[in-house]
Structure 1
C-alpha cells in the first residue's frame, strides 16, 4: 500500500518535517511493507523554508537580521536556482515578541531578508507570510528596502503616528526587476472590520481597547502610502506585510497552493492509495487556507481518501467531511495532554501506529 504523509507543523511541538517522520515511524511499526512518501507541508507560516528545502533541496544561506525590537536575529533563506524563498517569521515571528510591545515591533528584518535574497542573485523572491508578531503595515520592510519618510518607519506601528510623507522610490528601485511573491492564505485587507489589526491583533498581544486606535494609525499610513493597495486581498497578511509587498510591486498567491505545486503534491497524491495529513489542532478554521484542507482538496481531486492526525480534533464528523477528510484521530484520545507535550514525536508515532491498523491493508 502506498501512503502519502503530508502534515503541517504541530505548533509548539513538532516541525512539519518532524511530524512526517513521527507518523512514518509509527505507521511502519504496524505496516512495515507499506510504501511511505513523506511530504511535509506548510502554508507560508513557520516552517515554510524547512519544508521547501526538504522537498526541493537547494542551498540554505544563514543570515543575521534585525529582530522585531532591533536585536540581531539569525535567519535562513533558501536559494533554488534563481528563486529564493524567505520566511517572514524568521525575522518577525510571534516567538520573537515574547512579552514585548507588539505596537513597537518592526518588520525591518524581513526587508533585510529581501535585500539578502536580491543580493544573492534572485530573479524571484517568494516570501512566506504567517506567524508574525508584528502589526506595522510592513513599514519596517519598506524602510529596509530604502523608503524614506518624515516619521520613523522602523519603530513599529507607534512610529507611524503623525506620518505625512513617504517616498517609496528607493524601495521600489531596490527590488526592480525582481518578481516578489507573497505566499499567504490570508485574504484580509489592511484595515477595517476584517483587517489585520481587528482579526489578528489580539493574538499578537494588542489590547482590545487599543484595536481601533492601532487600526486608525494604519488607516492614516495607507492614506499617505497608497490606499488602493491597502484594499487588496492579502494586504492584511502578517500584520500588513502583504500591503508593503504590494506597494513595491509584489503579488499574492495562496501559500498552500504554492507549496503544493513546489513539492509536486498532486502527482504524489495520484500515486498514493491513501493520503495522511495533520496539524496540532484540527478544527473548522482549518478551512481558512490551512494545510489539512489544502491537502484534502488535492486528495479529493486525485480521488484518494484523506485522513488527519492531530494533537486535538475539535470538530465533528459532518464538519470533518465538509473539509474533505474521511476521519481524524487525536493524540489526546490516546495519551494525556501532559504526555503528548512531554513526548510529542513518540505520542504522534503511537497514534499513527494505531491508525494504520484501521487503514493499512
Structure 2
C-alpha cells in the first residue's frame, strides 16, 4: 500500500518535517511493507521556507534582520532558480513578539529579508505570510525598503499614530524589476469588521478597546498610502503585511496552492492509495486556506481518501465530510494530554501506528 504523508506543523511542538517523520515512523511499525511518501506542507506561515527547501532544494542564505522590536534575529532566504522565498514569521512572528506589547511590534525585518533576496539576485521574491505578531499595516517593511514619512514607520501601530504623510517612491524604486508574490490564504481587507486588527488582533494581545484604536490608526495609514489597495483581498494578511506588499505591486497567491505545486502534491496523491495530513488543531477554521483542507481537496481530486492526525480534533463527522476528510484522530484522545505535550513526536508516532491498523491493508 502507498501512503502519502502530507502534514502541516503542529504549532509549538513539531515542524511539518518532524510531524511527517513521526507519522511515517509510527505507520512503519505497524505496516512495514507499506510505501510511505513524506511531503511536509505549509501555508505561508512558520515552516514555509523549510518545507520549500525540502521540496525544491536550492541554497539557504543566512541573514540577520530586525525582530519585531528592533532587536537582531536570525533568518534565512531560500534561493532556487532565480526565485527567493522568505518567511515573514522569522522576522515578526508571534513566537518572537509575544502578546505583551502588540502595538509596538513592527515588520522592518521582513523588508530587510526582501532586500537581502534582491541583493542576492532574485528575480522573483515570494513572501510567506502567516503567524505574525505585528499589526502595523506593513509600514515597517516599507520603511526598510526606502519608504519615508514624517513620523516613524517602523515602530509598530503605536509609531504610526503620529504619521501624517507617506512617500512610497523609495520603496517602489528598490523593488523595481522584481516580481513580488504575497503567499497567503487570508483574504481580509486591511481595516474594518473583517480587517487585520479585528480579526487577528486578539490572538496577538490586542484588547477589545485597543482593537478599535489600532483599526483607526490603520485607517489613517491607508488614507495616506493607498485607500483602494487597503480594500483588496489579502491586504489584512499578517497584520497588514499584505497591504505593504500590494502597495509595491505584489500579486497574491494562496500559500497552500504555492506549496502544493512546489511539492507536486497532485501527482503524488494520484500515485498513493491513501493520503494522511495533520495539524495542531483540526477545527472548522481549517477550511480557511489551511493545510489539511488543501491536502484533502487535492486527495479528493485524485479520488483518494484523506485522513487527519491532529493534536486536537474539534469537528464532528458531518463537518469532517464537508472538509473532504474521511476520519480524524486526536493525540489528546489517543495518547493523553500529558504524553502529547511531553513527547509530541512519540505520541504522534503512536497514533499513526494505531491508525495504520485500521487503514493499512
The question of a shared fold, defined as TM-score above 0.5 by the shorter chain, is answered with yes
Work out the CA distance in 1 between the residues paired with 2:219 and 2:19: 40
Q: CA deviation at 1:158?
A: 1.0
Q: Does 1:229 align with 2:229?
A: yes
Work out the CA distance in 2 between the residues paired with 1:249 and 1:99: 31
Partner of 1:35: 35
Partner of 1:162: 162
Q: CA deviation at 1:354?
A: 0.4
CA contact (8 A) 2:335 2:350 kept: no
Work out the CA distance in 2 between the residues paired with 1:356 and 1:348: 12
Partner of 1:70: 70
Q: Secondary structure at the match of 1:180?
A: strand
Partner of 1:101: 101
Alignment of 1:262-277 (within 5 A): 262-277=262-277
Partner of 1:191: 191
Q: List per-residue Cα deviations over 1:183-222 (Å, max 9, x = no partner).
A: 0000000000000000000000011111111100000000
Q: Secondary structure at the match of 2:14?
A: coil
Partner of 1:125: 125
Q: Which piece of structure 1 moves more, 257-266 or 162-171?
A: 162-171
Q: CA deviation at 1:98?
A: 2.3
Q: Secondary structure at the match of 1:334?
A: helix
Q: Secondary structure at the match of 2:299?
A: helix
Work out the CA distance in 2 between the residues paired with 1:357 and 1:293: 24
Work out the CA distance in 2 between the residues paired with 1:77 and 1:20: 23
Q: Secondary structure at the match of 1:103?
A: coil
Q: CA deviation at 1:99?
A: 4.7
CA contact (8 A) 2:7 2:277 kept: yes
Work out the CA distance in 2 between the residues paired with 1:332 and 1:224: 49
Work out the CA distance in 1 between the residues paired with 2:193 and 2:135: 15
CA contact (8 A) 2:127 2:182 kept: yes
Partner of 2:332: 332
Work out the CA distance in 1 between the residues paired with 2:164 and 2:336: 55
Work out the CA distance in 1 between the residues paired with 2:130 and 2:20: 21
Partner of 1:308: 308
Q: Secondary structure at the match of 1:249?
A: coil
Partner of 2:245: 245
Partner of 1:139: 139
Q: CA deviation at 1:30?
A: 0.7
Work out the CA distance in 2 between the residues paired with 1:144 and 1:102: 20
- Structure 2: runs of 5 or more not aligned: none
Work out the CA distance in 1 between the residues paired with 2:274 and 2:100: 44
Q: Which piece of structure 1 moves more, 327-336 or 44-53?
A: 327-336
What value does the CA root-mean-square deviation take over the aligned residues?
0.7
Q: CA deviation at 1:237?
A: 0.2
Work out the CA distance in 1 between the residues paired with 2:311 and 2:242: 30
Q: List per-residue Cα deviations over 1:27-72 (Å, max 9, x = no partner).
A: 0001111111100000000000001111111111110000011101
- Structure 1: runs of 5 or more not aligned: none
Work out the CA distance in 1 between the residues paired with 2:229 and 2:43: 23
Work out the CA distance in 1 between the residues paired with 2:98 and 2:318: 38
- Please give the TM-score of this superposition, normalised by the length of structure 2: 0.99
Aligned pairs, number:
361
Q: List per-residue Cα deviations over 1:315-338 (Å, max 9, x = no partner).
A: 111100100000001111112211
Q: Secondary structure at the match of 2:214?
A: helix
Partner of 1:15: 15
* Runs of 4+ off more than 3 Å: none
CA contact (8 A) 2:39 2:263 kept: yes
Q: Secondary structure at the match of 1:102?
A: coil
Q: Does 1:90 align with 2:59?
A: no
